[in-house]
């Protein structure tokens, strides 16, 4: 592979698309809120008295709360991924700007000349 080919970055696209990851986190939060509201409106389907109700609450009730906790963690991870992607894009943009400034101030024979980005 010749120089200039291979790995490349598009900072503007990374920033735009990285910000959209927040939409996935918001959607996850929305799903949890709607599911909780719908589930709570049903009450306790297996009742609240007796050994059967106790066993169902222990098994399904705890699993339900664990699922909500997991989805909350997923939303946090999605937000962290979005923020990390935007920070990475900013770093790529900074490196690109610095490389252009360096290249603009150097002749092909390696001598430095006044100038900068043009």
Residue-wise over 67-87: b if at least 16 C-beta within 10 A, else e?
Answer: eeeeeeeebeebbeebeebbe
Q: Which residues pair with 106 in a beta bridge?
A: 112
Beta partners for residue 112, in sequence order: 106
pLDDT at position 118 is: 42
Classified as helix, coil or strand, 56 is: helix
**The pLDDT value given to residue 3:** 60
Confidence of residue 76 (pLDDT cuts 50, 70, 90): very high
* Residues 102, 115 contacting (CB under 8 angstroms): no
Q: Is the pTM of the predicted complex or chain greater than 0.95?
A: no
Does 69 have pLDDT greater than 60? yes
Residues of the chain with pLDDT > 90: what percent? 30
Q: Is the pLDDT confidence value at 38 over 70? A: yes
CB 78 within 8 A of CB 22: yes
Mean predicted confidence (pLDDT) in 57-83: 92
Q: Answer whether residue 74 shows pLDDT above 90.
A: yes
pLDDT score for 13: 78
Closest to 76 measured CA to CA, from 30, 33, 22, 35: 22
Rounded distance, CA 115 to CA 79, Å?
Answer: 41
Among the listed residues 104, 90, 81, 28, the one whose alpha carbon sits nearest the alpha carbon of residue 113? 104
User: What is the distance between the alpha carbons of residues 42 and 49, in angstroms, rounded to a whole number?
Assistant: 16
Q: Does 109 or 85 have the greater pLDDT score?
A: 85
Q: What is the pLDDT of residue 81?
A: 93
């Amino acid at each position: 592979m010749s120089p200039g080919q291979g790995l490349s970055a598009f900072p503007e696209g990374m920033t735009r698309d990285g910000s959209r990851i927040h939409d996935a986190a918001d959607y996850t939060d929305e799903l949890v809120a709607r599911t909780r509201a719908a589930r709570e409106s049903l009450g306790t389907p297996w009742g609240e008295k007796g050994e059967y109700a106790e066993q169902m609450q222990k098994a399904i009730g705890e699993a339900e709360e664990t699922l909500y906790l997991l989805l909350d963690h997923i939303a946090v991870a999605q937000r962290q991924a979005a923020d990390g992607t935007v920070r990475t894009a900013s770093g790529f943009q900074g490196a690109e700007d610095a490389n252009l400034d360096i290249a603009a101030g150097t002749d092909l024979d390696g001598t430095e000349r006044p100038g900068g980005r043009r």
